[in-house]
Chain A
Amino acid sequence: MEQPNLLYIEQLARGEQDVRKALIDVIKSEFPEEKEIYYKSLQKKDFEEIKGNVHRIKHKFSILGLEKSYNLANEYEKNLVDGYLDANQVKDFEAILAVISKYIKTI
């Protein structure tokens, strides 16, 4: 499975440790909140909310260099726009969330 990395963050920070830390701190605080909100919307089966949450979370995928996961999230979002919730996509998306959750504990 595709693994997250900090290449984009490093590029942005341009060697400045304070900036690097500030960016990582935001991911560490914002991602768990977004994940929780996503799961709540999934429980309610509120497509509008799920779609909005997937859209927000997929930005984190791209920040963490997860290109394939980002494309998967895009497809998932498109299906949600069409009113269709694909069980496999839900499962794949959850797997990515789990990988990120594990990763951000190490940074």
Chain B
Amino acid sequence: MNCITIDDEQMARVIIKTLCSEIKTLNLIEEFSNAIEAIKFLNENQVDLIFLDIHMPNFSGLDFIKTLKDPPKIIFTTSDPKFAIEAFEYDFIVDYLLKPIELPRFEKAIKKAQRFHNIQSSLKSNQNTQIKNDFYVNIDRRLIKIDLPSIYLIEAKGDYINIKTEEKNYIVHSTLKKIEEKLPTSLFLKVHRSYIINVKKIIDIEDNSVLIKKDVVPVSRSNRPELMKRLDLL
């Protein structure tokens, strides 16, 4: 998880940095001594987790969370227990750590944050799969629906692509790059500059080619490692 810390006290930031270095899954990418600088950073960067102090001069941690449109998970780090109830009114507040923070308590908070993060990622991935179950292509001024799982191969042919499905083939005026953006990465893989395959439809693989249905598709050397990663090898 990529994270940042916001605390006006340098000592508190160094402690968070030290604690983060003990957790392999955490990547502390930036630290801020005030919330305004952090807002600017978050306008251009995405993070998974924020360690946030509440008491800061001029602009408090509670002021800060009210400015967030799409807040990541937040762990409060404070010396003051009195905001705990208010903090948990926000569903993106994962935990509330009282200073001085000790490693076992920190690890517990991170496990909690990781659980939330995993649930969110899996929800996003499910939504992605659900939404992208089919798409429409424009052929001779007709919009034709194609079921994504039925596609086994997409081949570049000059200014056109040939979409091969179980039932029939569709020649569409488009590029491999454009269609690749619409395909779920869980199912499809570009194995060559002219070919995208449905990995679920592979019959066998030789050194530099895969057999899909009756098509032998070349696999370029640079794409081979990714292909091998996708296979469930014994």
**In whole angstroms, how far apart are the Cα atoms of A77 and B57 in the complex?**
15
The answer to whether A59 and B100 touch (CB under 8 A), given A23-B14, A23-B18, A30-B10, is yes
Residues of B within 8 A of A32 (CB): none
Residues 1-20 of chain B: 1 if any A CB is under 8 Å from the residue's CB, otherwise 0? 00000001111101100110
CB distance from A79 to the nearest CB of B (A): 15
Q: Which of B8, B57, B103 contacts A12 (CB 8 A)?
A: B103
Q: Does B99 sit within 8 A of A, measured CB to CB?
A: yes
A63 to B79, CA, bound (A): 11
- How many whole Å from B164's CB to the nearest CB in chain A? 58
Q: Are A8 and B9 in contact (CB under 8 A)?
A: no
A104 to B15, CA, bound (A): 18
Q: Which residues of B contact A (CB under 8 A)?
A: 8-12, 14-15, 18-19, 22, 55, 57, 79-80, 99-100, 102-103
In the complex, 27 of the A-B residue pairs with CB atoms within 8 angstroms, ordered by the A residue number, are: A8-B100, A8-B102, A12-B18, A12-B19, A12-B103, A14-B22, A22-B18, A23-B14, A26-B10, A26-B11, A26-B14, A27-B11, A52-B55, A55-B55, A56-B8, A56-B9, A56-B55, A58-B79, A59-B12, A59-B99, A60-B11, A62-B79, A62-B99, A62-B100, A63-B11, A63-B15, A63-B100
